[in-house]
A = this chain, B = another copy of it.
Amino acid sequence: MRRIMLTVAYDGSAYHGWQIEPTGITVEECLNRALSGLLKEEIRVSGASRTDAGVHARGNLCVFDTEAPIPPEKIAPALLGRLPDDIVVRSSCEVPADFHPRHCDSVKTYEYTIYRDRLPDPLVRRTSCFCYRPLNVEAMQEAGACLIGEHDFQSFCAAGAQVRTTVRYIKSLTVREEGKFLIIRVEGTGFLYNMVRIIAGTLMQAGLGQISPSYVKTILEKRDRSLAGPTAPPQGLCLAGITLYPEGFPPGFYAERR
């Protein structure tokens, strides 16, 4: 029995998220079906990040166990013809039998993309959130800077989520312009339910002048979801990648806090 890890990219538009659920088709289900067909045994993948309905990924990770003798690196290309064209397994490799990306120190990178124009562009509607009102990028950057470091992010967590602690560490947060696009890039060691989308919604409020950038500090302190901005729509969000640290974070990793 060997354990294989896959790096998976998908357009989440057509899926009810990553994780199997009764109401609609999911990415996990498609992978299980394609892998079971390829390897001629019942395969169940276990993902690193359970992205929500409509959210995309360029580098989600998952693992599964198999007895099939296929060379691990051949699995990714062999899946190309077995998966719908909105899911692509970008690489496959063998990992230790007890390894799981969810139980390993890691940094997840999310990008939230906003398309700024007078009218929407139908060619980017599935991969960005449209905003016709002018956004003050500097205010968004200033607001975002308040979130870097270790904080209690309870205000940035969907109400009702069950977690042990709402303290999380954001390693970096940048807001950059690329033509008509504005991209919020967040790197962190873990994220609460809807956290990146609530951050995006709050930064947009700062960009629209609805809150002052430094008010983000107050939102953090009050630990009250109702003070943060709305949950930005899913199509703007993409899990860009996950960096694994199987031996734990290197010394000084957390020193980058500001």
List A residues at the B interface (Cβ < 8 Å).
Answer: 9-11, 56, 58, 76-77, 80, 85-88, 90, 119-123, 125-127, 238
Contacts and interface: CB of A to CB of B under 8 A. Distances in A.
A90 B119 CA distance: 6
A118 B123 CA distance: 24
Contact of A123 (B58, B121, B122): B58
B122 A86 contact: yes
Contacts of A86: 122, 125
Contacts of A11: 122-123, 125
A90 B122 CA distance: 10
A89 to B, nearest CB: 8
Contacts of A76: 119
A85 B122 CA distance: 6
Nearest to A8: B122
A122 B87 contact: yes
Given A11-B122, A85-B122, 12 more contacts: A11-B125, A56-B123, A58-B121, A80-B119, A80-B120, A85-B120, A85-B125, A86-B125, A88-B120, A88-B121, A88-B122, A90-B119
Contacts of A119: 76-77, 80, 88, 90
Contacts of A127: 123
Contact of A122 (B9, B77, B121, B125): B9
Contacts of A9: 121-123
A238 B123 contact: yes
A145 to B, nearest CB: 27
A87 B122 CA distance: 6
Contacts of A58: 121, 123
A87 B58 CA distance: 26
A202 B123 CA distance: 26
Closest 8 CB pairs of A and B: A11-B122, A86-B122, A88-B122, A11-B123, A90-B119, A10-B122, A88-B120, A9-B122
